[in-house]
Amino acid sequence: MLELAVALENPKYAHNVGGVLRACSVYGASKLRWSGHRVVPDNMRRLPREERMKAYRNVDFAPCGLPWMIDTIVDNRLDWSIVAVELVPTAEQLPDFEHPTINTCYVFGPEDGSISRGLRTMCDRFVMIPTAACMNLSAAVNVTLYDRYCKRRHLGLEPIRPTSEYV
Ligand SMILES: C[S@@+](CC[C@H](N)C(=O)[O-])C[C@H]1O[C@@H](n2cnc3c(N)ncnc32)[C@H](O)[C@@H]1O
């Protein structure tokens, strides 16, 4: 089965990691990793209550170091595409972006910076969301995963469930 994962570089706020955890859960990303020491297991307890609820247990989430963050997600590098979501001049624009058809890990930078050069060298592709200014980290993750879902659904790669299943 195709795997989907999210990696955050040195996130600053636990509430953003909580929002990303929820995005991973609802869009079917099975792994979430983040680097740095600003959101650590101790203040994980301060994630918004709903992010600690049972419904989010379908996501394997953990803090870890750099550059091992990617290694804790990717088993065989050849089976994975690593996509940096960042405002860089050479990035493809999300509306035109064709999401990889193999296992994919989307990488995001911190609230007060951007993806480091070291981590960028591990990325295969770069995509930006054409917004007037930088988005909130968790919003950027949600938009990226929703875009992937919509495009895959359009290609018949995601099941179309009746609305009644969602409410
Ligand atoms: C809040 S932004 C970083 C802030 C920004 N570097 C600044 O200080 O102006 C956090 C992360 O969200 C992602 N992000 C936010 N808006 C984005 C956009 N429009 N396109 C691509 N990535 C975006 C990137 O991964 C970025 O590193």
Write the pLDDT tens digit of every residue in 61-119: 888 877 778 999 998 999 999 999 999 999 999 999 999 999 999 999 999 999 999 99
Our answer on whether the CB atom of 84 is closer than 6 Å to any ligand 1 atom is no
CB contact at 8 A, 39 and 45? no
Our answer on whether the CB atom of 135 is closer than 6 Å to any ligand 1 atom is yes
Whole-number pLDDT of residue 42: 59
Question: Percent of the chain, pLDDT > 90?
Answer: 68
Average pLDDT over residues 17-24: 91
Alpha carbon dihedral 137, 149, 95, 125, in 10-degree steps, equals: 70
pTM for this structure? 0.93
Whole-number pLDDT of residue 27: 94
Our answer on whether the CB atom of 83 is closer than 6 Å to any ligand 1 atom is no
- Using CA atoms, how far residue 85 sits from 12, 92, 109, 114, in Å, is 17, 10, 8, 10
CA–CA separation, 124 and 156 (whole Å): 25
More confident residue, 69 or 167: 69
Average pLDDT over residues 134-150: 98
Our answer on whether the CB atom of 114 is closer than 6 Å to any ligand 1 atom is yes
